[in-house]
Copies of this chain bind each other. A is one copy, B any other.
């Protein structure tokens, strides 16, 4: 870093405000408060200024000024991130740039299967617009009603459709990015193939706003499936789930679009705390799998395939019971159990989170070892590991002991992390599968990255943001 970062003076605040107009420059606590509280309320932040630019040009002017004056900026989308990446530090010196006003759908190319959107468009809006022309944008996650595509991009969001369609990174054809010095990179290409030099968009996808601000993107659209079938299965153990996954994938190929693993305790939390939730199967089972098949052609084929898979699964003793959704409402109720699983844990007191991945084949071993180790360390704690088994991605969450002290439990966060992450590391896994690093895991990065890799990351940061104004204190 060439010079220390500065505090935004009253004069400077006025100059920033002049770029976006008074009413889009928030300085009062009452106005800025909602930008400072994130979903888990783990990362307190302060700011003297929230700017709400309305155009790429305004973002460009803001960054040029911030860069010249050494003011740290924190880009923010829908403020749904779970690792604090969108929250300024407590100094009050970092200013927030909210992209929420930039919410225009710039173009929908039906024949080319692309949609070009501003960074501030809410994910669910994109879903709706795609549906209108018989397409889908497959990125699907719990926060889709409020998260914004710019944030999804900057965190390389995962979700439940990764198995079939890939992470956000794989769903993007082009980007428009404002660089830290205010220059605009016009990379809004709509091409499926383009080998003309380094693929620069990859730098900004998943960079958590540390290299520039994504202001627009070209998204890939896909044909809407003609039919979907969803089944909920009860199993004895994750080993059976792994076998079921491999068998289903071999039979269904790319028609297998969802494979989510859940433990009984997660279902119980959901039954207790989620309005209208019903036990999916007659009797309780130690583990559950939600399996989704999608067909681009006809409904009968998907149904027949699902039945075939479960005949085979029963025959081989992989599952103990299963229910196939009999209606759209039934299907949605199954998915609701899965999507509600994160939220309901709040009602059970403190929850220590791990968003980890391991090679798919190592999931049973990971679950067994992690649970043994964590229960030994914190007697009475209640592991509730669930997630995207098909991607090797488990949210290894641990709820506090019943009637235990929440604060005392949460004080053991780092200790629990160390236990779980050590096992993840041994299995060649990742300590952040989809939520990113943000503030939360920044101190862990040196433990899991080699010096060479950290050097490469720092070199990239220094090259693109030499003054270090972009989201300092996050990730690196």
CB distance from A302 to the nearest CB of B (A): 10
B193 touches A242 (CB 8 A): no
* Range for the number of chain A residues in contact with chain B: 35 or more
Note all chain B residues with C-beta closer than 8 A to A113.
249, 360
Note all chain B residues with C-beta closer than 8 A to A254.
164, 254-255, 296
Q: Per a CB cutoff under 8 Å, which of B192, B197, B246, B448 touches A445?
A: B197
**Residue ranges of A at the interface with B (Cβ–Cβ < 8 Å):** 109, 111-114, 134, 155-156, 158, 162, 164, 166-167, 169-170, 179, 183-187, 189-200, 202-203, 205-207, 222-223, 225-226, 242, 246, 249-256, 294-297, 301, 305, 308, 357-362, 388, 390-393, 428-437, 441, 445, 448-450, 452-453, 456-457, 459-460, 462-464, 475-476
Distance A187 CA – B196 CA, assembled complex (angstroms): 24
**Contact A156-B430, Cβ < 8 Å, known A191-B359, A193-B162, A253-B295:** no
A-B contact pairs, 27 of them (CB 8 A): A112-B362, A156-B199, A162-B193, A167-B193, A186-B452, A187-B453, A190-B359, A191-B392, A191-B428, A191-B430, A192-B357, A192-B360, A192-B391, A193-B357, A194-B432, A194-B433, A195-B433, A195-B436, A196-B445, A196-B449, A197-B445, A197-B457, A198-B460, A199-B205, A200-B453, A223-B253, A462-B463
A359 touches B109 (CB 8 A): yes
A452 touches B192 (CB 8 A): no
Note all chain B residues with C-beta closer than 8 A to A166.
170
A431 touches B296 (CB 8 A): no
B432 touches A196 (CB 8 A): yes
B428 touches A193 (CB 8 A): no
CB distance from A250 to the nearest CB of B (A): 5
Distance A361 CA – B207 CA, assembled complex (angstroms): 32
**Contact A434-B255, Cβ < 8 Å, known A111-B360, A183-B452:** no
B198 touches A430 (CB 8 A): no
